[in-house]
Structure 1
Amino acid sequence: MKALILALGLSLSATALTAGTAYAAGASDTDQERAERWNDLKKELFAGKTIEPSETMVKIDAPKRAEDAALVPITLTMPEKDKVKSVSLVIDDNPTPYAAHFTFGPAADPGEIKLRVRINNYTNVHAVTETTDGKFYESVGFVKASGGCSAPMGMSDEEAMKGMGEMRMKFSEQAPGKPAEATLMIRHPNFSGMQMNQVSRDYTPARFIEKLEVTYGDKLIFHMDGDISISSNPVIGFGFKPEGKGPIKVAASDNQGGKWQHTFQAPSPSN
């Protein structure tokens, strides 16, 4: 969490969220309690920023009740995408609420981001966009889930780490005049630090993808700062402008110093 806060240039006091700040959370919380918790988080994570509600700047599509709390699909849609500089995903009641921050580059089509996350409790989920003129907007969703951050992976740590850093990318069929769409898949356990090894009965140390950068030729599509709330074997869907030249390059690094790179051949632009 501290690394993510530093990377975003946000308030360092947000590290208190992992240093014992108590946020009572559960299915019985009232709307007022959830609102107060979000106000506290905003002060920590976006210190000094005014954040206005707006579903025309960002919308959240999430299941009302998760089928698997360790693999919850989230889609962030930015209808006024040309105004968007970055988007943040905050899962209010997770142990480290700041799940991910995406900064878009000149090759991005920032209309939509898809990812899978862990959700540890019945919680509000917030998306916050920063626009190119320095304003901030938020939207909120509610997800019923429990135990996603501590859920075991169903295999040994050694098995979970096999092939770590391997990547695949799928491209959707591109319609003429429309942005190109891609899905990036990375093999990485993204250990949360809360999962118990089923053999040793010790907790597996946190190891998660901390930074991810995707470029098209010499232009940035997006940079992501992540934390333990992103699910194991991350899957991220994104859009990009198809007029670029050169391959799509992905560079990933985790909080324990692991680094991986992969290059994918982008589909030819459609007329």
Structure 2
Amino acid sequence: MNDSRRSFIQAGVALLGLMALAPLKALAAIWNKPAFESTSVDGALAGLDAKSPQPSKDIVLSAPDLAENGAIVQIEVESRIPNTEAIAIISDKNPTPLIANFVFSEGVDPYVVTRIKMAETSELRAVVKAGGRYFMASRKVEVAVGGCG
């Protein structure tokens, strides 16, 4: 293979690599670092601008009463609140309580099923942003063996 062809291929591969990183840069721009790095529930809520979410029965938070392994706890969250924009999941006793923040486009059903890690028995919270206001549902989950550490 001649040198110019090799250089062309190397430049093309480098360009593809840079193009692949562009979405990561966009995600970094919307990453809520203060909320996710907070070591307290109040700090995580403040990072989300959700200082005092109101309790709501229109949020369905499903989680096991007893999680045998805190490294794999399946949860489901459904918001029946109109105009739901986001659902955040918080585990009070995790080293960094904010586990996830799912942002929804208009017209999408605000429903999440995921597996999370829980350090120990703790209050689990689902915080919903809807119409610029914040709402919350919570439940206690007993953890037999912790999964964060």
Asked if these proteins are the same fold (TM beyond 0.5), I'd say yes
Residue of structure 1 equivalent to 2:87: 87
Note the residue ranges of structure 2 that are not aligned, 5 or more in a row. Answer: 1-26
Q: Deviations over 1:96-116 (max 9, x none)?
A: 111001111145222x21001
Residue of structure 1 equivalent to 2:113: 114
Distance 1:98 1:118, change over 3 A: same
Q: Deviations over 1:6-54 (max 9, x none)?
A: 623x7x387452xxxxxxxxxxxxxxxxxxx75x346543446431111
Pick 1 or 2: higher relative contact order, CA cutoff 8 A, min separation 6: 2
Residue of structure 2 equivalent to 1:143: 141
Aligned residues of 1:14 and 1:44 also touching (Cα < 8 A): no
| 1:52 and 2:54 aligned | yes
Aligned residues of 2:122 and 2:142 also touching (Cα < 8 A): yes
Whole-Å separation in 1 of the counterparts to 2:44 and 2:35 = 11
Q: What value does the CA root-mean-square deviation take over the aligned residues?
A: 2.6
Distance 1:113 1:13, change over 3 A: closer
Q: Secondary structure at the match of 2:31?
A: helix
Q: Deviations over 1:214-235 (max 9, x none)?
A: xxxxxxxxxxxxxxxxxxxxxx
Give the C-alpha shift of residue 59 in structure 1.
Answer: 2.0
Whole-Å separation in 2 of the counterparts to 1:147 and 1:138 = 24
Aligned residues of 1:71 and 1:118 also touching (Cα < 8 A): yes
Whole-Å separation in 2 of the counterparts to 1:74 and 1:13 = 21
Whole-Å separation in 1 of the counterparts to 2:50 and 2:120 = 28
Aligned residues of 2:87 and 2:129 also touching (Cα < 8 A): yes
Q: Secondary structure at the match of 2:146?
A: coil
Distance 1:76 1:13, change over 3 A: closer
Whole-Å separation in 2 of the counterparts to 1:75 and 1:48 = 21
Give the C-alpha shift of residue 86 in structure 1.
Answer: 0.6
- The TM-score with structure 2 as length reference comes to 0.69
Whole-Å separation in 2 of the counterparts to 1:113 and 1:13 = 20
Whole-Å separation in 1 of the counterparts to 2:35 and 2:108 = 31
Whole-Å separation in 1 of the counterparts to 2:102 and 2:65 = 24
Please say which structure displays the higher CA radius of gyration.
Answer: 2
- One-letter amino acid of the structure 2 residue matched with residue 54 of structure 1: S
Note the residue ranges of structure 1 that are not aligned, 5 or more in a row. Answer: 18-36, 151-271
Aligned residues of 1:130 and 1:137 also touching (Cα < 8 A): yes
Residue of structure 2 equivalent to 1:123: 122
Distance 1:136 1:44, change over 3 A: closer
Higher helix share: 2
Whole-Å separation in 1 of the counterparts to 2:76 and 2:50 = 27
> Identity of aligned pairs, percent?
24
Whole-Å separation in 2 of the counterparts to 1:138 and 1:63 = 18
Whole-Å separation in 1 of the counterparts to 2:87 and 2:66 = 24
Q: Deviations over 1:120-143 (max 9, x none)?
A: 111001110001x20100110111
Distance 1:64 1:48, change over 3 A: closer
Whole-Å separation in 1 of the counterparts to 2:35 and 2:101 = 18
Aligned residues of 1:91 and 1:99 also touching (Cα < 8 A): yes
Whole-Å separation in 2 of the counterparts to 1:72 and 1:91 = 11
- One-letter amino acid of the structure 2 residue matched with residue 69 of structure 1: G
Aligned residues of 2:117 and 2:147 also touching (Cα < 8 A): yes
Aligned residue pairs: how many? 121
